[in-house]
Structure 1
């Protein structure tokens, strides 16, 4: 992983969950962040260039990881982490912000430790 890794955050339509992550972490100096959606109706739909840019991908639900793997099987995929956050929150919902902050920070700690020791 690079000095300042690129994190790609993915949800269904890039309206609430992934956009919230991008908003709350946009000025975080530990990494660069970008959000996209899997649906063709997404404001920013996931593209091959997003996968190539990313050092680590966060998805909200289990099935999203499989969709990325299937759609982009011709690419070398970065590690994909599942946050297990259902699509039941509004954009910038306080509970959503708390869950995302906790899960992303704890996952990054584990990933960074793994990279340093491995």
Structure 2
């Protein structure tokens, strides 16, 4: 299964999710950001590639819909509702990610 995690700048939350879930249960995981200054900016290629997309906040879902609405019509997109309060590999962030993603995937 191909999983995409999306946050704003692709610096803390989505790269943490990519690191902790990649390779588990055969998952292929990538991460990207929605903002202009993102480390890796989300593209049509990311959306087309992903089987499931997790966004960190409602605003990320809206930005994806604004830019990729047609491509998202057959995609499962889930808002994890995780605020931008954490740094890369923060233990609390890891615990929250595992708990919220476990509702949708085997982790």
The two structures share one fold, judged by TM-score above 0.5 = yes
CA distance in 1, matches of 2:12, 2:72: 28
CA distance in 1, matches of 2:79, 2:64: 12
Partner of 1:66: 62
Q: What is the TM-score with the length of structure 1 in the denominator?
A: 0.83
| Count of equivalent residues | 105
Match of 1:81, SS state, is strand
Task: List gaps (5 residues or longer) in structure 2.
Answer: none
Match of 1:50, SS state, is helix
Q: What is the TM-score with the length of structure 2 in the denominator?
A: 0.91
Q: Once the 2 structures are TM-superposed, how far is the Cα of residue 63 of structure 1 from its aligned partner?
A: 1.6
The answer to whether residue 34 in structure 2 is matched with residue 44 in structure 1 is no
Partner of 1:6: 2
Partner of 1:115: none
RMSD in angstroms over aligned alpha carbons? 1.3
> After TM superposition, which residue ranges in structure 1, 4 or more long, deviate above 6 angstroms?
none
Partner of 2:97: 100
Q: Once the 2 structures are TM-superposed, how far is the Cα of residue 72 of structure 1 from its aligned partner?
A: 0.7
